[in-house]
Structure 1
């Protein structure tokens, strides 16, 4: 079974761009999830290798999902148009990818997260 990478993103085209990079690198995509409640359930239950998280999603902000992943030791990156919402003290290991992004931004973050 391929390592699984979670995508939490409410913009279909952005999610598709992230998914393309992840699948091209040989990983399996879980999602994308656009709602906080479903993303939170997945983050707490599935075996994941990493995650890409948009900050503002349907139902609120993604921080409960990030906390669930952090508690489980699953690395993640934020993909956001609002990088000022990230607190480095709370998530010092999380790469931040600013929208709009290039595929190489996602590739670099993926490499950092899974190795």
Structure 2
């Protein structure tokens, strides 16, 4: 069964490119949310294994989405043109892929997170 991924991105062309990258790597995109409310609604309705978050959604922070995912135990990758220090503490240890991103870098982070989550679920994580 393919890994279910939620993409949260407000720019349609970037979202489409991200979807192509993710599905091309064998993952399943359950939904592309364009804002905080749509993302939270999707999380409420669809089981997901991982999320990709644009840190800035039309001027609004993705922090509420990150908090919800963290409370649900769902790992996420942050996509941003900002540095970790510029984004603030809400990003926590989640990986940040810089915009413009290389497709391979995004897929590498997704795979790394999924391996870490699998190891954590099995009780073999070194974290």
* TM-score, structure 1 as length reference: 0.87
Decide whether the 8 Å contact of 1:22 with 1:110 is kept in 2.
no
1:80 aligned partner: 80
Report the structure, 1 or 2, having the larger helix content: 2
For 1:73 and 1:101, locate their aligned partners in 2 and report how far apart those are by CA, in whole Å. Answer: 25
Larger Rg belongs to: 2
* Shift of residue 31, structure 1, vs aligned partner: 2.2
Higher relative contact order structure (alpha carbons within 8 Å, sequence separation ≥ 6): 1
Divergent runs of 4+, >3 A? none
Instruction: Name the CA distance, whole Å, in 1 between partners of 2:63 and 2:69.
Output: 10
Q: Which runs of 5+ in 2 are unaligned?
A: 116-127
Number of matched pairs: 113
What CA RMSD, in Å, does the superposition of the two structures yield over aligned residues? Answer: 1.8
SS at match of 1:53: strand
CA positional deviation for 1:41:
1.8
1:29-108 correspondence runs (5 A): 29-58=29-58, 60-83=60-83, 84-87=86-89, 91-92=92-93, 94-108=94-108
Distance 1:59 1:35, change over 3 A: farther
- CA distance in 2 between counterparts of 1:62 and 1:41 reads 14
Q: Distance in 2 between matches of 1:37 and 1:113?
A: 25
Q: TM-score, normalised by structure 2?
A: 0.80
